[in-house]
Structure 1
């Protein structure tokens, strides 16, 4: 490098350092972080319908809600189990369906999807075939995806399942009638379980059952390890762990309406009892968690409980809104409501204001 270039370079460095030093004499502009304001909303928050649904919060903070197959008449047509997305549990947008096309190995409706995250992969356990179907036999099915939105596909390792690549088990596998409404639960030590409802009127084998899953979550290693945990009085259950108890939430159908019942146990497999000590193996037992009011009827199939940064707990479940109860084909709409809960002597209770027409304050996740 010649002397002229070296001189120019030195001069540029001097000017650069001088500029930095001059800037240091200026007052710093402090940008204050705005406090996050929890969103305001009116119930229901997920429309037009998302019945027998599940809600997942992924590792990156997004919420996803998944509903049963349903014909959104006048609002998009038939959905092969719709997927909704939200950043705050208040504002939800439709994304796509769980499946690109209906799986061909069975017929009937695809209902009660429970989507879970296992080692950054996403599994959907769901019911396939109508409740009264005997041919094909009602199945608990499984599909996987690399993203929470899907599309979900049949399991890659299920070549040995032959013509039923998505069939995890059916009535032949478990010898219980009409297996439906799967719910996945994982213990802190990694052990995985699948709960399901078996319910046919008059069948003595009808009940809520639990089966241990393989480490991958994709197989049932031993069908003889099946355990009965509650009566057949429940149309789907969910287990929530809090402190030293497991809480079993179940949907109890009462004619054209339903209620959400809760019991608890010190052990995952029970016995589950209500506030009075009544065993949930008996159909009339259970503490009422959510019931119909003048505005919202048929509460059912609640989500897991999510805790926000203010240490408040939130839950979602479907209802029938008396202001907009049906599609044009006269089938019920079952949108999701969002509600806050509190704990009273170790029992979850709904904050009643959330099942009204009032404007409400939502969760604070930021």
Structure 2
């Protein structure tokens, strides 16, 4: 969710990133000789908070993140491990400006009606009353993106700290979920996905949560969210949690049947002796072997000055619930399977 000053130049930030044990340059695509059977966390050892990912029609994965890199970084990968920096979603001339001096946080990428639609938060730190959610569109996942302006501000929608958007389609309708520590809310969008239907707002989770993501599997909807402090370096308490429901709008509950509306949950990922502040997960991506993978950010406990680096772990489904082994980040794991 949160925002950092974007003081590190793009080229410097990613100069040594993305190799995962291979001597790949950031601008190189992996070859068969480069591919390993295991990878190490972090996937990218540079700051990429609040990742969102889409697999585009060209077969590549595209990743977007909170703008530690000004104007919102865009990266591309064939395998979720080796990433190439393509540039940014905006330029200084095209970036949104409806929240003066605001940063672009927690984007959410989607493909809607033949366009790539990027929902984004725009805020200054502490600006919970005037922050809000905007929309940008592009014909290609790498952009350029054209800003469509704000969808709403906190003081217009009646939900304080209105950031962290998440888009989902269900039963032929389009919805936006959002919220940060003042409740998770949802509303219905019009069919273009670019405007909202009036008087459709409803609360679906309590005040412990932000950065929600909903994944449908079998008969259940699973709400992933983050709790705790995101941005205090090695002192961060951020962790990824989950609840489930048979209905998109809840009630979402933990294994004991206690409701996320009452701030109950199951822990999915929390810190360990190497990583801390594990939260704001991406979409779940399935590989060609049917394995599910989740990306999220974390600090390296010993070097928190690197920022919130990109981690990835496999999600296992056990008795109808998602689990990450040990409820904490792996150091090394088998690579995803992509033919």
| TM-score with structure 1 setting the length | 0.77
Alpha-carbon shift at residue 60 of structure 1 (Å): 2.7
Distance 1:94 1:324, change over 3 A: farther
In structure 1, how many angstroms separate the alpha carbons of the residues matched to 2:328 and 2:226?
A: 19
Superposition deviation, residue 192 in structure 1: 0.7
- The whole-number CA distance in structure 2 between the counterparts of 1:246 and 1:106 is 33
8 Å CA contact 1:131–1:178 kept in 2: the answer is: no
Cα distance change, pair 138–244 in 1 and its aligned pair in 2 (3 A): same
* Residues 136-285 of structure 1: pairs in structure 2 closer than 5 A: 137-155=130-148, 166-187=149-170, 189-199=171-181, 206-222=182-198, 224-254=199-229, 256-283=236-263, 285=264
**Residue 350 (str. 1) matches residue 324 (str. 2):** yes
Q: Distance in 2 between matches of 1:297 and 1:253?
A: 11
Which of 115, 118, 128 is 1:124 aligned to?
Answer: 118
1:341 maps to 2:315: yes
| SS in structure 1 at match of 2:244 | strand
Unaligned stretches of 5+ in structure 2?
Answer: 1-31, 230-234
Q: CA deviation at 1:314?
A: 1.0
- Deviation string, structure 1 residues 235-294 (Cα, Å, up to 9, x no partner): 2110000011000001001573211110000000000000111100112x1000001100
Query: Which of these residues, 36, 46, 53, is aligned with residue 48 of structure 1?
Result: 46
Measured in 2, the distance between the counterparts of 1:182 and 1:103 equals 16
Which shifted more, 212-221 or 111-120? 111-120
Counterpart of 1:236 in 2: which secondary structure? strand
Question: Structure 1 residue 38: deviation in Å?
Answer: 6.7
Secondary structure (helix, strand or coil) at the match of 1:337 reads strand
Task: Name the SS of the counterpart of 1:363 in structure 2.
Answer: coil
TM-score (norm 2): 0.83
Specify the structure having the higher radius of gyration (Cα).
1
Rounded Cα–Cα distance in structure 2 between residues aligned with 1:134 and 1:85: 32
Q: 1:252 to 1:46 in 2, by over 3 A?
A: same
Offset of residue 186 of structure 1? 1.0
Distance change in 2, residues 1:134/1:60 (3 Å): closer
1:106 aligns with 2:99: yes
1:354 Cα deviation (Å)?
Answer: 8.0
User: For 1:115 and 1:125, how far apart are their aligned partners in 2?
Assistant: 7
Quick one: distance in 1 between partners of 2:59 and 2:219? 26
| Cα distance in 2 for residues equivalent to 1:247 and 1:104 | 34
1:323 deviates by 4.1
Q: For residues 197 and 329 of structure 2, what CA distance do their matches in structure 1 show?
A: 43
* CA distance in 2: counterparts of 1:153 and 1:46, whole angstroms: 28
Aligned to 1:303: 282
List gaps (5 residues or longer) in structure 1: 1-33, 71-77, 156-165, 200-205, 328-332
Question: Structure 2: how far apart are the matches of 1:244 and 1:305?
Answer: 17
CA distance in 1, matches of 2:338, 2:51: 22
The farther-off stretch of 345-354 and 174-183 is: 345-354
How far, CA to CA, are the matches of 1:38 and 1:218 in structure 2?
42
Check conservation: 1:262, 1:286, Cα contact below 8 A: yes
Q: Is the 8 A contact 1:299 1:317 kept in 2?
A: yes
Residues 224 and 241, structure 2, Cα contact 8 Å, conserved in 1 = yes
Q: What's the secondary structure of 1:48's corresponding residue?
A: strand
Separation in 2, partners of 1:282, 1:143: 34
Contact 1:38–1:363, Cα closer than 8 Å, also in 2: no
